[in-house]
Every structure is written in C-alpha cells, then in structure tokens.
Amino acid sequence: MSATTASTEGRPDWRRRLMYAFLTVVAIVAVYTVLYRWAMVVYADVQVSFLHSLRIVVESLTTAGFGGDAHHWTSGPLHLLVIAMNLSGVLLVFLAIPLFVVPVFRQLFETRPPTTSSLTDHVIICGYGAEDEVLGDELTAAGVPHLYVETDPDLVTSLNERGVDAILGDPERIETLESANASAARALVADVGDEANPTVLLSADQIDPSLYTVSVIRDYQVEDYHRYAGADDVVLARQLLGKSFGMRSAASYAEKLRDAIAVDTQVRVTELLVQRGSELVGQTIREATVLERAGVTVIGAWVGGKFVVSPGPDTRIAENSILLVAGERGDFESVTARPIPHPEDHPSRVVVCGYGTVGWSVVQALAEENSGVAVTVVDREAKEGVDVVGDVTDPETLREARVDESRAVVLALDEDTPTVYATLVINQLAPQVEVIARAGDVDTVWKLYNAGADFVLSLPTVTGEILASLLLEDVEILTPDTEFDFLRTDAMALAGRSLGELDLRARTGCTVVAVERDGELLIDLGGDFELRDVDTLIVAGSQGAQRRFRELARDGVDAPGEDADDGGSNGPQGSTRR
C-alpha cells in the first residue's frame, strides 16, 4: 500500500463553483416566478398562487410540459415570457452540463496526485530524471524506501500508477518537504537544477539540520555555493564521467589483471561485449553453458554504470554487459560476444575528442594517474589545451590526430548524433583501437555499441550509480570513477581456511579472483577452495577494501578489527548513510 496520501487541493474551488451555479439557477427561477405571477394578473386577468407560478416556471425551464395555463397565454407579452423561459431552460442545460456538471463529476472520480507522504527512514529525491530513476532502482534493490518530489502533476500520477512513491509539490518550499516527511527521512537528494538546489538544501536544513543531503550539479564552478547552502556531498556528474573515462583509457580492468599475474600461464584475460543477438543475453551465468564448455571463468562484469566483482551464478547477463573473463588461449571463439581490443603492445597515446567539461576531466584524470600516457585533444574550437582543431566526424581530422597510433579514443562530445557518426568513422580508420564513448541519452548506448564503440557510459546512468554509492554505505557500488585495482599479495595468516569460511567480500569488500600456486594460475575458485601458506592471492577491490584486506591478511581473521569507514563491502544491504 502506498505511503502517499491523495490531495483534496482544488476541490473547495469546485464546491464554490457548484454553489454559485445552484444560487444562479435559484435566482433565475425566483425571478421568472415573480414575473409570471405578475404577467398573469396584468395580461390575462388571472390571479395565481406563488406555488402555481413556480410549478409553471419549472415546467417551462425543464421543458417537461405545461399545465392548464396555456389557454391564458393569448397576449404578446405572455408569449414572449414563456419563450424566454423555454430558451433559458435550453441554455441552462447546454451550459450547465459542460461547464459545471461534467467537471464536477470528473473531479470526483479522477485520481489526484498525492501531496503528502507518511514514509519514514526514506530517501527524498527532489526532481525526476534518468539519473534519479537509476538511483531509485538501486535503492529498491537495497530495500530502501524512497520518495520523489515533483512539480509535474501528470508525472506524479504516472509514477504512482507504476507503484512508485511520489508527491506533487515545489521542493524549494519548506511546506512541501514537511509534507514529504523530511523530519523522518534518512537523506535528501537535490536534483532540480544548479540554481534551485541551494534553496532546496536550505529548506531541508530548516526542517532537520542533521539530514544528510546530496546536490547534483552540472557546472563545477557552483560547487562552493551548494556546499555553503548545506550540501554534505556534491556530485559533479560531468567531471566524474570524465574521470571514469580517463581511468578506463589509461588501463582497462583486463590489463590491470594481466599485470597482476606473475606466473607464466596460458590463461588469457580479456573483456567480452555481450551485444543484442548473443545467446548469452538474458541467461544467468549458471545457465550460460557456452562459458563452461569454453572453460571461461567470469571474473567481473560491467553492468550499466557499475562493475560487479565475481558475479554470482544467478547474475543475469544483460544486453551490452561487458564480461571480464579468463580462460585458456583459444577458448573464446565459441562465445558469441565481441572481444574488446586491448593489445599488449599498445602505444601509450590517447586521443580525446571534445574539450568541454568531460574532455577536460579526462585529461586531468590521466595526468593524476601518472600513467605516462600522452594525450592528443581534438576540438572544433582553437583554445588552450587543444592540439588538433577540426570536426571529429571528418576522417582527415582524425588522421591528423593519429587515432590509428593510439591505444584508445575517448569521444567526450556533448551531442549523441556526432558521437555515433564519429564511432563509425574511427572503426573504419582504426578498428584495433578501443573506442570509449559518452552517451547523453540512455537510449543511445545500444546505438553506440552497434556502431562499434567498445566502452560506453551514459551520463544519467553514471550519475545515478554514483548517487547510490554515496547513499548506500553497506553496499559497495563500484562506479567507473572508483579507484579499483588488483592486489597481489600473500596471505599466510589465512592459510588453512576456505574462501567460503573467510567470506572476504563481507569482511573487507575484496574478492579473491585468482590464486598462484606452484607456478600455476587457478581461476575457478569456489567457496570450498582452501588457501595454503604457499599461495599468492590476486585480490580485486577498491583502495579502501584493499587496505582492509591487507590488515586482515596481516592480523588474521581472529584478531579484533576496526569497523570499515568507507562503506566498501558487498555484505547485507539496506543501511544508508546518515
């Protein structure tokens, strides 16, 4: 049952209109009754009672028929009066029904958008866009109640019809946030606009200064104003997307995992793009027997805007998922998925097309990574930081940027149409180069993959996942901007214990993805796999998760530990940052 309550706002107006209409009819009837009684005396020399006159007027107005007075209507004035009453009745019927009766009945029977909610311990999301829908899906998966606050009544009605809690109101107003039960909420997300968000934050602060608030902004220059207005966290979506692309173009997860492996092995590590038409689409990893037949182990998977380490056997493979897999060389030909190019002898150059906020952030991320990767920037406008001026959809511009001598091309354009076209051109010029593309619209993602892009992120999806990672502190969501790597370490303190017994993901947020033992690389690790003191572990996780793993490997599982402080576990879901 929904926790929102239907509004009665607007109904008093209809009651007033109905009352005015009733009084108008009463007044018309009363006037005609008096006139008819007077006219019968003056023009027909007949005295009639007030009740008799009232009956004649009602019969005339309703065109229900006439009584026995018709034989007295011989004079012109009486004829004109009866005609006027008949016409008034017809006009009342034609005007009253569409102007009053129909709207009143529509008002009584239509579903009105709710304006209040009784939810508690919930997340209030002010605004509703593609990124907010992604956030809502993550909160639902974690069992966290959430409520959208929107100014569009049709949108609120549509959301409620889909079973999504939403109320109608202006989130900048304190009264609206009080109606959203902000005093009992656990967090608030302001995603109305760069100018409106601070007002939302200030209103929330008046209700509950301790309420955890997040503001989503488009222009990085306004960050200080939002923090001054009370935002505990600010999500700079475009900058984070650029950082994600920079980290990806410097080294893919497949390359990082290959670099972590020290033994001489025939195991091949790569990424497979599962596109429409693949037999893997819609199957769980358990059902994907083609992977088992090929001897392929799924180490991780990119699903939308997040990375899942060691996905469980019941994880369903969605269209356009990217699987990080390992297996014997030559085993991938039978798998109906497109390998993403990661040549081991790749040049250390990246071409960045588009030098707006996203493109600039890509360059900054590559510099901060100290990757040693050279960057060539292409843009339509000649400005500081741009190396090649021209249209990225023009093959000559791309040749000048030497895309064929690059390890990756990042398409950080503001519009989706030229991004799709540039992807097609790059695949003709340099099919061996990884194409990393930004999609402004979620629906453009599949078009870019079909055009030949190898790694695509939509701005709304990344924004929603980053918001979820901030709000869900007991659920580690590895967003593309997460400092994620593969740690190579021994774990003598853990020897003699099975992976299932250790439950390292719940304890630390890390996952053991491979073990080097006696010169061999073991990748098919189940819960009953027992560690030995000679083992070298290859562990995947964020920086915080790796720190916790090193402490555990040093002190052992029986030593008293400290609580994790950065929310990096894949353990029980449901808790949210406060």
Counted domains in the chain: 5
Q: Minimum mean pLDDT among 104-118, 235-249, 339-353: which range?
A: 104-118
The CATH number for 354's domain is 3.40.50.720
One domain, residues 203 and 265: no
One domain, residues 77 and 119: no
- Report the percentage of the chain scoring pLDDT > 90: 46
What does DSSP say about strands 374-379 and 388-389: parallel, antiparallel, or unpaired?
A: parallel
The CATH number for 558's domain is 3.30.70.1450
Per-residue CA distances from 542 to 386, 547, 549 (Å): 33, 9, 10
pLDDT at position 100 is 64
Examine the fold and report which residue of 109, 144, 162 is the final residue of a domain before the chain moves on: 109
- Token pair listed for 312: 């469980």
Residue 27, in any domain of the structure: yes
Residue 246, in any domain of the structure: no
Examine the fold and report which residue of 201, 231, 261 is the final residue of a domain before the chain moves on: 231
One domain, residues 223 and 274: no
Closest CA to 240 of 523, 483, 520: 483
Q: Tell me the sheet residues that pair with 284.
A: 316
Give pLDDT tens digits for 430-445: 999 999 999 999 899 9
pLDDT at position 110 is 60
One domain, residues 461 and 420: yes
Residue 151, in any domain of the structure: yes
One domain, residues 332 and 359: no
Closest CA to 467 of 133, 119, 121: 133
Domain that holds residue 316: 253-339
One domain, residues 294 and 268: yes
One domain, residues 119 and 227: yes
Q: Which helix (H) or strand (E) holds 49?
A: none
pLDDT at position 458 is 92
Q: What is the mean pLDDT of the chain?
A: 86
Task: Report CA 73 to chain centroid distance, whole Å.
Answer: 75
The CATH number for 95's domain is 1.10.287.70
Residue 238, in any domain of the structure: no
In this predicted structure, the answer to whether residue 242 has a pLDDT above a threshold of 90 is yes
In this predicted structure, the answer to whether residue 38 has a pLDDT above a threshold of 60 is yes
pLDDT at position 117 is 94
- The pLDDT confidence band at residue 312, using thresholds 50, 70 and 90, is confident
One domain, residues 575 and 540: yes
Burial of 384 from C-beta contacts in 10 A (0-12 / 13-18 / 19+):
exposed
Instruction: Enter the pTM of the model.
Output: 0.75
One domain, residues 80 and 133: no
- The pLDDT confidence band at residue 568, using thresholds 50, 70 and 90, is very low
Residue bearing the bigger pLDDT, 241 or 86:
241
Average pLDDT over residues 518-545: 88
Residue 79, in any domain of the structure: yes
- The pLDDT confidence band at residue 108, using thresholds 50, 70 and 90, is low
Give pLDDT tens digits for 486-507: 888 888 888 888 988 888 888 8
Residue bearing the bigger pLDDT, 13 or 403:
403
- The pLDDT confidence band at residue 3, using thresholds 50, 70 and 90, is low
In this predicted structure, the answer to whether residue 427 has a pLDDT above a threshold of 50 is yes
One domain, residues 319 and 370: no
Task: Give every CB contact of residue 166 below 8 A, 6+ residues apart in sequence.
Answer: 4, 113, 114, 128, 147, 148, 149, 150, 155, 156, 159, 160
One domain, residues 509 and 432: no
Query: Which residue bears the tokens 């304006």?
Result: 115
Contact between 357 and 343 (Cβ < 8 Å): no
- The pLDDT confidence band at residue 99, using thresholds 50, 70 and 90, is low
Residue 295, in any domain of the structure: yes
- The pLDDT confidence band at residue 566, using thresholds 50, 70 and 90, is very low
Average pLDDT over residues 360-377: 88
How far is 94 from 31, CA to CA, in rounded Å?
21
Average pLDDT over residues 391-415: 95
Per-residue CA distances from 246 to 37, 160, 286, 360 (Å): 92, 40, 34, 10
Residue 476, in any domain of the structure: no
In this predicted structure, the answer to whether residue 231 has a pLDDT above a threshold of 70 is yes
One domain, residues 124 and 217: yes
Examine the fold and report which residue of 284, 305, 339 is the final residue of a domain before the chain moves on: 339
3-class DSSP assignment, residue 205: helix
In this predicted structure, the answer to whether residue 571 has a pLDDT above a threshold of 50 is no
Residue 241, in any domain of the structure: no
Average pLDDT over residues 399-403: 95
Closest CA to 155 of 141, 134, 145, 169: 169
